Amino acid sequence: MDVQLFTDSFWPLVLGGLTGTIPLALSSFAIGLVLALGVAMLRLSAHPVLAWVGRAYVSAIRGTPLLVQLFVIFYGLPSLGLTIDPWPSAVVAFSLNVGGYAAEVIRAAILSVPTGQWEAGYVVGMSRHRTLRRIILPQAARVSVPPLSNTFISLVKDTSLASLILVTELFREAQEIAAFTNDFLLIYTEAAIVYWIFCTVLSFGQSRLERKLEQYV
């Protein structure tokens, strides 16, 4: 094994993660969560058309590969005259994807809060909307931290797909080094190790967050 090559490549890969993978995952996750909350509300709506729109969205996202969604946005939309740069294309694709998956998590978390909490909100004079915001969502948030953390960690790894639309991130960095040095086994294994380090740190953060939230429910 070429130890020199390994150590020389390590920081470029970590840097690719810090400047590409993590910002891509964070921004997509943030936008995706907002979207997911909206989709979850559609799914929970008593209005049949709105509920159907929510179901259709989740079905479309979960029923098609992320890579295909990414390619439709980056390579497909230009034929409609809509050309989006690599980075924003990736953010759009990943956000839409998170929106679909996290919507189901949030919906389940909201449904897990006992009906009595809604009624207690109504009894103290709150509207449905205010009860949701002040009473239900804080409790649902606690329940949804573990599954949402999993969604986030999956997303961190899925951002490697963005290398296929020329976004500079960890895996794209690895591809370039590998092509240059021809040591594919070493570099791709090293990339895997760096992904693993990132995900392990995130899992650690997840369990700390869970313990913190446990205090008050």
Q: Which residues bind other proteins (CB under 8 A)?
A: 45-47, 114, 116-117, 119-120, 122-128, 130, 134-135, 138-139, 142, 216-217
CA distance 55 to 176: 41
Radius of gyration of the chain (CA): 21
CB closer to other proteins out of 63 and 216: 216
Nearer residue to other proteins within complex by CB, 47 or 211? 47
Closest CB 205 distance from other proteins, rounded Å: 21
| Cα torsion through 181, 17, 62, 200, rounded to 10 | 110
Closer CB to other proteins, residue 55 or residue 62? 55
Main-chain phi, psi angles of 213, to 5 degrees:
-75, -25
Q: Between residues 102 and 140, which has the closer beta carbon with respect to other proteins? A: 140
**Closest separation between CB of residue 41 and other proteins, Å?**
12
* Separation between Cα atoms, residue 90 and residue 70, nearest integer Å: 7
Query: Rounded to the nearest whole angstrom, what is the least distance from the CB of residue 117 to other proteins in the complex?
Result: 6
Choose among 208, 197, 93: nearest CA to 155: 93
Q: How far is the CB of 215 from other proteins (least distance, A)?
A: 8
